[in-house]
Structure 1
Amino acid sequence: MKTQLFAASLLVVASSFQFANAASDGTINFTGNISGATCQIAVNAGSATSPGTANVSSVTLPNITTSGMNVVGTTKGDTALNIKLSACSPGSGTTPATASVYFQSGTGVATDGTGNLVNTNTATGAATGIALQLFDSAGVKIVPGTNVQGQAAQPAFPSASGTVTLPFVVKYVSTSTVPTAGAYSGSVTYSMSYN
């Protein structure tokens, strides 16, 4: 009987602690601005297209050898990745001050937290132990899907007749001490932010 009474007492005490923790400690209000700003977007020397209109761009990477790539983290084949904005419209509301790129996580991005762009080429003889990494213009690595992506330059939002280029670099990176030669394909999805 004492055991049942003790258990019931513990239940009452535990319940009172639970209610004490349920009280609110404050409120956070969020404010923001939804911009109607848009720009034509071109990657490297590609044609400018409107956002969201099957804007798929291709960047040809240089051929590299596996020689010297046997240390994990070794990079080669630095390639410019320039995102050019033109024919910008501020939309309604306040004209944005800056433009920036947000690289998204998802298909093609490693799930191990490195932000590496994995080889999506699954054909026989595809390269293994090699991925891609993105860097901003200051050489800071970008990890797609994170809130802080190291974009050094957030250029001013261009006028309707102006242009602005957001410079990045993409590099091959070794992810294995025994990388193998072969074809490589990778991709990353991005979205523009006008602030």
Structure 2
Amino acid sequence: MKRQLKLILLLSSSVLGSLSAYAEDGKINFTGEILDAACTVDIGSGNTMTVDLGKISKSTFDKSGATSAPTAFSLTLKDCPAAVTSAAIKFDGTALGGDDNILALTEGTTEAPSATGVGIQILDDDNTIVPLATASKSYTLEADTDNKLNFSARYISNSNTVVAGSADSAISFTVNYN
């Protein structure tokens, strides 16, 4: 009898425990749409682009927040269907020191260490910072034409002291159609 009582208590506690694991504190609804056709991204061979930010003297970065001159680049969307009228770009990469406004540099090697105290910032065509993992402003698209979405990139220091070295990075992007 004691054994059956222990078994009943064990089973009821596991059932009650599993019920509490499914308690709700809120609800999130996901919405979206899968498009039949979208624009063709045309940024170069293999859909890879290189933006040369140049060789910048570390004296340019005399304080935290100092920037180099921006370098323009464009993402081209072509063959857009008439139903797609605008798009935003979401850039994804590693944030420098947890600051989503600055892309971290790629780690260098022992022979060619990377610069420190500096990262890369992406700007839209209004010179507004585009934070990582956040959609840019919306760009109007036209069917049957090459739509150039203009951006720029620049170095920005996040420290009062910048150490010279390689200053490369990589970022991926996603086109979000509106």
Same fold (TM over 0.5): yes
- What residue is the counterpart of 1:154 in the other structure? 139
Q: CA RMSD in A?
A: 2.6
Aligned match for 2:104, one of 85, 110, 118: 118
Report the CA distance between 1:101 and its aligned residue: 1.0
Aligned residues with identical type, % of pairs: 27
TM-score normalized by structure 1? 0.68
Do structure 1's residue 135 and structure 2's residue 118 form an aligned pair? no
Aligned equivalents of 1:80 and 1:109: distance in 2?
21
Aligned equivalents of 1:113 and 1:89: distance in 2?
36
Structure 1 residues 23 and 174: alpha-carbon distance in aligned structure 2, compared to 1, 3 A threshold: closer
Gaps of 5+ in 2: 1-19
Paired residues for 1:1-195 under 5 Å:
31-43=31-43, 46-47=44-45, 55-89=47-81, 95-104=83-92, 106=93, 108-110=94-96, 112-123=98-109, 124-146=112-134, 149-151=135-137, 153-156=138-141, 158-159=142-143, 161-195=144-178
Structure 1 residues 126 and 42: alpha-carbon distance in aligned structure 2, compared to 1, 3 A threshold: same
Aligned equivalents of 2:80 and 2:119: distance in 1?
34
Gaps of 5+ in 1: 1-18, 48-53
CA contact (8 A) 2:90 2:175 kept: yes
Counterpart residue type for residue 60 of structure 1 = D
- What residue is the counterpart of 1:11 in the other structure? none
CA contact (8 A) 1:62 1:77 kept: no
CA contact (8 A) 1:86 1:164 kept: yes
Matched residue of 1:67: which SS?
A: helix
CA contact (8 A) 1:63 1:77 kept: no
Report the CA distance between 1:115 and its aligned residue: 2.9
Report the CA distance between 1:77 and its aligned residue: 3.0
Name which of structure 1's ranges 111-120 and 77-86 shifts more when overlaid on structure 2.
111-120
CA contact (8 A) 1:134 1:169 kept: yes
- What residue is the counterpart of 1:3 in the other structure? none
Structure 1 residues 60 and 30: alpha-carbon distance in aligned structure 2, compared to 1, 3 A threshold: closer
Aligned equivalents of 2:132 and 2:60: distance in 1?
26
Give deviations 1:23-73, integer Å, cap 9, x for gaps. 989x77655322123222233xx35xxxxxx52221111211011302111
- What residue is the counterpart of 2:15 in the other structure? none
Counterpart residue type for residue 73 of structure 1 = G
CA contact (8 A) 1:134 1:143 kept: yes
Aligned equivalents of 2:173 and 2:125: distance in 1?
17
Counterpart residue type for residue 114 of structure 1 = D
